[in-house]
Structure 1
């Protein structure tokens, strides 16, 4: 009876996805899973169990979409057929939809291994339903407090769920994030750490938005020998002695090259290598480090990981480069959704700019802030993000979205000249306005929240400038 139920659920889910795309009511990334789970609640558990190489789960606050795509490319280069929620639908219904898509109509797997990017709040349920072979957690920051609650609450839920896993499970954690690193304490699984060693990037940016400042063991405030941003760095508790674990996989040196690329020097047990990553910024370098570490824990040869990472292209909306039509203006889209992510994105963009000599020079921006459920309805985080770095750097900025006025006020208090701003609440005319104000040869940097990014990309797809996100 259970097999019949699963077979019906698979068929119904696949049909739902086909109809969704045919009728253009969405990409079919979540509805098929929701329908299938109504018929067979255990369908994700059962389909996950059929994958020969098991399941990899990846979660965290920032960078999980990019990191999961990097890891997917590495696994493909290693000869795996990867089942991956590439479009970013990372709730349980999205994971279920992906599992359905990776089977034939009889529910037989067409992939060898599953890779699921997982929403932070959904991680405990995903762990229970997929029995993963490997879990990668990259960071934990304050994000969407209306959905997730405080970071300590989320970390406790993760810790309890990780304790239920098989001893054969491999856990890969960011040693530089104290809340994430502490998850590895007292687990019966195999725990691996990765971390950044290059002191030149220890600038202490965004220290006021550090979320995990106190020792998980005794409650004393950590002391930092290196602070990269927020609470990310090298830390030690002065009371009980708990400290950053020594990472097995290390980013020994990182050389950044503007908004184009970066060069990574990696060390790992038994060797080291250099690679050229065709993505900019400290964030993307640590994403690549995380993907490399996970691949190494899975037994992928380092040279294969280097090959894949050097040919990687960004996920949609994550430092994505788009051209406005044939020979049109270049655009750079960078998702922002919380104080740390926004601060680091602004820092990356500003580091490549020069102080404008006159109004036509400097940064040209489109910032679109929504407060819908998927963005987080509380936008007070705008006041924690360090937009002050934009002062004196902006030639023009269009603010858009449901909270466009809030963003305009925030920029004014950050020191951006109001005369440089235009408020256009609707994303589509806002893009037209921003492009109309863009001088020849300049790049438009677009910083949207999640639903604003989806609306923007829908408009770009309608104009024929990009493919729909579920085809990307």
Structure 2
């Protein structure tokens, strides 16, 4: 018997039995306390190795897409699909996948697909010795925890330098901080990116976080912007510029037209809306190519993708449709707002702003969000969460129009918003991370849906 694995399984059972959560982190912490080498030991038994996905936004969606592609290819993904992305969450996922003696079931087909917190990447890469690492983007997030993006970029450069020469780096060419990691690579690099199109902006948004050249520090210029600081960037001072992607996508509505590394062309129907969803899908396709998965598995994985919890998740409730979209930083929330504003009619919104440790105590980031996009587009809005008043003040100054109500209590806010939403209409719920865990639990119970960790296990 494997004591660490047994302890983790016991902890998971108790946490869920007592209704204390999904057991996606604590079991891993217990296992690590008993055996600090449990992650490296179990990961070494993954017959197909493992893939890591990191970045500020899009980790859960991208990792789930890749896991679906791997499953379609006949592999058995082992994943922290509920989004617990510190080392303890990875440990919990590995222990859950293992038998009581520590052996992995169907080990020869097992592929680890782990989303990894930005600051956790160096430790995770050292423990897991990945086959490939996907870098999505780097935005300002949780300022009181990580500081500005330069700090995380430095952590990533160190991690890349330590990754083995056999590991592939899958990099977003549209993000200067991510694309520049190619210079640190010891092994193969696969770059992906979007072509300019109708979705493009002429200049970076106010919330853009990487306006400076990663090489010389000069201010970057853009020929096209996808969102935030992602786009066709170049440095007028030193000449560094966005590299040509090996995998490039052209966004046409809900279609993504791809040019593959071999020059062939394919088309995928996007499973989610928005430019950021196109980037996540591109990243997942690039990861699948780096892993050598067949194209048929890529297509099947995308077509069967139902979304991750709280990421454009839709629930049917009392004759209304409720769409839940995580909104945790300026870059992500701006994209959510742009997507919503592209729909006809006035919007019904329930917004939740918390300042828990997982959200970041500093909520000043809401002043960098372009809530002004909502002006004249809102039927009514409910502001809730531990910092509901701060959120309401920001919405007031944005002059979004419509009735604005403050209700700090999340459950009461949901009741109020649902009562105001007529049958057949859609309520858009936009929570920060800890608020997502609260409101999604309530909505799932009302809708008769599984809890998020139960859905993640399917």
Aligned to 1:217: 215
User: What RMSD in Å do the two structures reach over aligned CA positions?
Assistant: 1.3
- The answer to whether the 8 A contact 2:196-2:226 is kept is no
Cα offset for 1:64? 0.7
Does residue 39 of structure 1 match 2:34?
yes
1:464 offset after TM fit, Å?
Answer: 4.2
Q: How many angstroms apart in 1 are the aligned matches of 2:75 and 2:83?
A: 20
Task: Say if 2:317 and 2:447, in contact at 8 Å, map to a contact too.
Answer: no
Q: How many residues align?
A: 451
| Residue 352 of structure 2, aligned match among 342, 364, 368 | 368
CA contact (8 A) 2:135 2:178 kept: yes
Asked if 2 retains the 8 angstrom alpha-carbon contact of 1:277 and 1:309, the reply is: yes
Aligned twin of 2:378: 394
Q: Distance in 2 between matches of 1:365 and 1:222?
A: 36
Measure how far apart 1:201 and its partner are: 1.8
Equivalent residue for 2:259, pick from 264, 267, 278: 267
2:157–2:184 Cα contact (<8 Å) kept: no
Residue 76 of structure 2 is matched in structure 1 by: 81
Structure-2-length-normalised TM-score: 0.96
Tell whether 2:454 aligns with 1:471: yes
Measure the CA separation in 2 of the matches of 1:52 and 1:441.
Answer: 48
Separation of aligned partners in 1, 2:26 and 2:423: 43
Provide the C-alpha distance between the structure 1 equivalents of 2:222 and 2:326, rounded to a whole number of angstroms.
29
3-state DSSP class of the match of 1:242? Answer: coil
Instruction: Please give the secondary structure, in 1, of the residue aligned with 2:150.
Output: helix
Q: Distance in 2 between matches of 1:91 and 1:222?
A: 33
Distance 1:449 1:307 in 2: 31
Partner SS state of residue 257, structure 2:
strand
User: Gaps spanning 5+ residues in structure 2: where?
Assistant: none
Structure 1 residue 204: Cα displacement: 4.2
Q: Which moved more, 1:393-402 or 1:105-114?
A: 105-114
Distance 1:382 1:205, change over 3 A: farther
**1:90 matches 2:85:** yes
Long gaps (5+) in structure 1: 257-261, 355-361
Aligned partners of 1:433, 1:323: CA distance in 2, in Å? 17
State the SS of the aligned residue for 1:321. Answer: strand
Runs of 4+ with deviation above 4 angstroms = none
Superposed displacement of residue 340, structure 1: 0.5
**Counterpart pick for 2:99 among 104, 109, 114:** 104
For 2:271 and 2:210, the matched residues in 1 are separated by 31
The 3 A distance-change label for structure 1 pair 12 and 64 is same
Q: Does 2:401 align with 1:408? A: no
Once the 2 structures are TM-superposed, how far is the Cα of residue 53 of structure 1 from its aligned partner?
0.7
- Whether the aligned pair in 2 keeps the contact of 1:322 and 1:465 (CA below 8 Å) is no
Corresponding residue for residue 357 of structure 1:
none
- Deviation of 1:205 (Å): 6.8
Name which of 424, 427, 440 aligns with 1:457. 440
Q: Under a length normalisation based on structure 1, what TM-score does the superposition of the two structures give?
A: 0.93
